[in-house]
Chains A and B, each alone.
Chain A
Amino acid sequence: MVNDSAKIRVENLKAWYGQREVVHGISFDVHPNEIFGIIGPAQSGKTTLLKTLNRTLEFTSGSRMQGLVEMDGQDVYNIKDVYGYRRRVGMVAPLPVGLPLSIYDNVAFAPRSFGLKDKDTLDELVQKCLEQAALWDEVKDRLDSLGTKLSGGQQQRLTIARALSHQPEVLCLDEFSIAIDPVTTMKIEDVLMELRESMTIILVTNLIQQARRLAKRTMFLLNGDLVEEGDTEKMFSGDAANPKTNEFVSGAFG
């Protein structure tokens, strides 16, 4: 199915690490300003899939991919300026990924790398990103202390602020709740609902109920295969097309 309004279109995507094929020909669309959920047990290719979306997979030595990834109708693997492209796709990896820098420098890292030097503009941007990630009030008095000294939930929000710092069009979150408590998770979920207004969000999650809370449409991956993609509510109400999906969401395995 070709959807011209898709923000991201993936067709027959395959990926390998060395000789091992970990993603076996997946196709799906992500619509603008939606939260698109990806669920599946470990080793199902979720993280690899995200890495192909922002072209960081090619950074891993020995990896290889095949297939089409389009953003706004443009083949992203034909884009010459790969660094510029990566900035359009924000990536939030699971903890711990605080860079060994201060809180301020963590958020200012990307903008500075693109040549933004003006102190006032940077200050403003850092504050805005931290506010968007619901972290500003907790850290505004200690922006100089190390990001890695923050608590798990704060660090995770810091990585979100950092991903927002280059003003991405698409935000990918990879199991962000894996290392943090439920209260913080809810806080971040609220943040995501707000961010959805201004960007497209792809949410890989290990909590199936989280997908149900946030995502309108969800895709279920198993061992590198796309089992099912569709309306989240339908998938979770025991009405999934594939019996495997029903088993997974009801907790029979995974």
Chain B
Amino acid sequence: MQLQRSKWKAFYEGLIEWIIRICGISAVVFVFAIFIFVFWEGKGLLFSGNFSVWELLTSEKWDPTHEPASFGAARIILGTFSVAILAMTIAVPFSLGGAIFISEFCGARLKEILKVVIELLAAIPSVVWGFIGLTVMSIFIRDLGSNTGLSVLNGAIILALMSMPIILSISEDALKAVPDSYREAAIGLGVTRWQMVYRVLLPGAKKGLLAAVLLGMGRVVGETMAVLMATGHALNNPFDTNPPFFHALMEVKTLTATIASEMGEVERGGEHWQVLFLIGVLLFTITFAVNMTAHLVVHGVKRK
């Protein structure tokens, strides 16, 4: 009897190992390639004399077609943050609450129904969400005192609705992954279901929940079509140094919507074209920073 592996088998296994290795590395390669491509398109302007990163980040004057052009994206950045933060403020409590309800409190039948409905919600295309914001949501927001109804609030609600299915289903998976022995141990100690949830399940599922929120955040920051339609796309700064400090009913422009709406009308390779790519780099950096922060938070907690 031959106990050694045949050469062919050894080669075959080695091959599979390499294919898997390449699949793993390719993710990193793609991310870098995208970053470099986007950066490449914008680098001419970045290193030219009539542009400064400081101006891009702090100046409120966005007039890229004027002569001489102004590339101040501060209002656009603030617009993006205002919509994203408000959207997350709405989405996170609802999604986490929903996930806790579905995984811990609701009956099997209702659970099935809710999960199907939530998946359905996730399958709605973003342009349809934008349309709802434009035609339905705007009516209600007009009643709050906005002229058009298109505003930070409108965009944030639409984005919240869009990110909720993602946050909710991943959070629910994270809660489900907490071993039942934790639940039984806690219940056996005579605590209520709710005490079990916030003292044992939430700490136990912490990482998964954070991942869920981050993915939702990614969707919120990166979403284009729906925000373009729901926010009104006007260059405003929703923040204010005087009370009430924040105007939720103001129309704003976001980074993504700016790229989408202006890209079709610029001269290819021109300064305006290049600044739009630099905005792409900025978006990339924001997403990266958010992910990195979260990673450090989780890591820091783990080390303790």
Contact = CB atoms under 8 A, between A and B. Distances in A.
Interface stretch (B49-57, B186-194, B209-217, B236-244): B186-194
A31 interface: no
Contact of A93 (B107, B184, B199, B200): B184
A244 interface: no
Interface residues of A, number: 25
Contacts of A101: 199-200, 203
Contacts of B190: 83-87, 110, 113-114, 166
B185 A99 contact: yes
B195 A113 contact: yes
A56 B182 contact: no
B181 interface: yes
A93 B185 contact: yes
A56 B184 contact: yes
Nearest to B191: A113
A156 interface: no
Nearest to A87: B190
Contact of A54 (B188, B191, B192): B188
A54 B187 CA distance: 10
B204 interface: yes
Nearest to B201: A100
A58 to B, nearest CB: 10
Interface string A103-128: 00000011001100000000000000
Contacts of B108: 61
A100 B183 contact: no
Contact of B189 (A84, A85, A96, A166): A166
A83 B188 CA distance: 9
- Interface size range of chain B in the complex: 10 to 19
B192 A93 contact: no
A66 B181 CA distance: 24
Contacts of A162: 185, 189
A100 B187 contact: no
A13 to B, nearest CB: 19
Contacts of A83: 190-192
A253 interface: no
A235 B185 CA distance: 32
A159 interface: yes
Given A59-B183, A99-B182, A113 B188 contact: no
A163 interface: yes
A239 to B, nearest CB: 36
Interface in B160-209: 181-192, 195, 199-200, 203-204
Contacts of A166: 189-190
A49 interface: no
A139 B293 CA distance: 33
Interface string A153-168: 0000001001101100
Nearest to B180: A60
Interface string A73-111: 000000000011111000101001101110000000110
9 contacts: A56-B187, A56-B188, A59-B184, A59-B187, A83-B190, A86-B189, A109-B186, A109-B199, A162-B185
Interface of A: 54, 56, 59, 61, 83-87, 91, 93, 96-97, 99-101, 109-110, 113-114, 159, 162-163, 165-166
